[in-house]
A and B are shown apart, each in its own frame.
Chain A
């Protein structure tokens, strides 16, 4: 198998709605085994870009091409009408025919396997978020799109889920598009960062992006400094006993 199969490619893509461009001139690529992160202020078109990649929104300009066979999506917001009785186990199966073992396995990974027969409406925000992630993982996609996947999840859970996402990209060898505000995660595990504000301001490896003047203009000097500081920790690595190895 080709190690770095191209999963999806946007060429100069844009979406025009209600007489304005939501995003324009977006070019990017996601390859197998790669984690690409979108960052940017509110309303900068992160979700719109994700929806172009997932073919939920048609582009009004540019091209979306790709050869991802199976895509899975963790949307930012999802309201399930309370008129529908729906258990977690039913929700897990809505777009694919999974068996109970596959369902349980991925619910264990996100730590919510005890909720299998609970009504979706009775879950807390964080629990529901974990179910959403489990559902996407269970499909074993080759492209996984996560839009703010850990919102509402408690702090320790957040770290565990981010580690899980990293693990999944390795184990499934899938491509991951992540929309995240968590700069530490973005900077430490992402392969490629795209800074968005209606268009692509700057992009590249995390260490290059934080030095980019466009990034500093958008996120401020302070943020850039904390991240540089964080990066400093990666100039060395730790042995298992905590000692530093160069």
Chain B
């Protein structure tokens, strides 16, 4: 079944949605959507470097996004700039450096649209392996630190006082975010990854009354978005990444309507 490019895209996309579900909830709860954007913009630099030195794209993206994430954490403690200015500064400078470097690598042909918005045809069996294997590692680590990162998300002081080691779990969570961007960049594209993190989780928010429910629902909504998006991409001959995000948006709007109609689903 891996022979069919569409099946490959479907399997890869579902794998990504399972990982972006829980991470997306944390991004929403911790108000890190712009942080996710910065990491994914810097991912373009990672892709360029991967081509330049012919190394694996996911590995290179993980290294660059991870480095940018850690740089950000340390800069936030040292500079007098507000968090959002710092994020914008890093997002656009790494994006610019990536684009400048592409100019230097004129000998290699680039599919810039594919890098920015994802390419359904580009998913290989190797990519599926990277997505599912990498995804399982990310989920495994996330499961292990969940109690700690969740406590730190609810309240840093409580988590710190009661021995949950919030700084360590923040650090690990940041690397996991870089990891999910690394495994999904080829499929979704640098500009749209944050959309797949945010929109299914936002959809799940209005339908859930507790954190576990929100995580499970955002995984489900993510999977449905991937399936709907890929089918419409095939039918309408549109780019895969944007189609998935549009499908997610449609589900979000539907959730708002059903939420309004049923009042609050809260117990």
Residues from chain A with Cβ under 8 Å of B161 in the complex: 51, 54-56, 71-73, 75, 145
Contact code string B175-211 (vs A, CB < 8 Å = 1, else 0): 0000000000000000000000000000001001111
A166 sits at the interface (CB 8 A): no
Is B263 an interface residue, CB under 8 A from the partner? no
Complex interface bits, A81-101 against B, C-beta within 8 A gives 1, otherwise 0: 101111100110011100000
Q: How far is the CB of A215 from chain B (nearest CB, A)?
A: 29
> CB-CB contacts of A152-169 with B at 8 A, as 1s and 0s?
000000000000000000
CA A145 to CA B205, docked complex, whole Å? 33
B160 near A84 with CB under 8 A, answer: no
Q: Is B153's beta carbon under 8 Å from chain A?
A: yes
Q: Which residues of A contact B155 (CB under 8 A)?
A: 75, 78, 80, 94
Q: Judge whether B29 is part of the interface by a CB distance below 8 angstroms.
A: yes
Q: B154 to A85, Cβ gap below 8 A?
A: no
Q: Interface majority SS on A: helix, strand, loop or mixed?
A: loop
| Interface residues in B, total, Cβ within 8 A | 27
The verdict on B28 contacting chain A, using a C-beta distance below 8 Å, is: yes
Q: Which of A85, A95, A117, A118 contacts B158 (CB 8 A)?
A: A95
Asked whether, in the complex, the Cβ of A85 is within 8 Å of the Cβ of B205, the reply is: yes
- A83 near B158 (CB under 8 angstroms)? no
B157 CB–A CB distance under 8 Å:
yes
How distant is A175 from chain B, measured CB to nearest CB, in Å? 14
**Interchain CB contact under 8 A, A94 and B209:** no
Decide: B29 and A83 in contact? CB cutoff 8 A.
Answer: yes
Additional 9 contacts, C-beta under 8 A, given A85-B205, A95-B159: A75-B157, A75-B158, A78-B157, A78-B158, A80-B155, A83-B29, A84-B211, A87-B210, A95-B164
Q: List 12 A-B contacts (CB under 8 A).
A: A54-B160, A55-B160, A70-B162, A83-B28, A83-B205, A84-B214, A87-B267, A91-B154, A94-B151, A94-B154, A95-B158, A122-B266
Binding site for B on A (CB under 8 A): 51, 54-56, 70-73, 75, 78, 80-81, 83-87, 90-91, 94-96, 117-119, 122, 139, 145
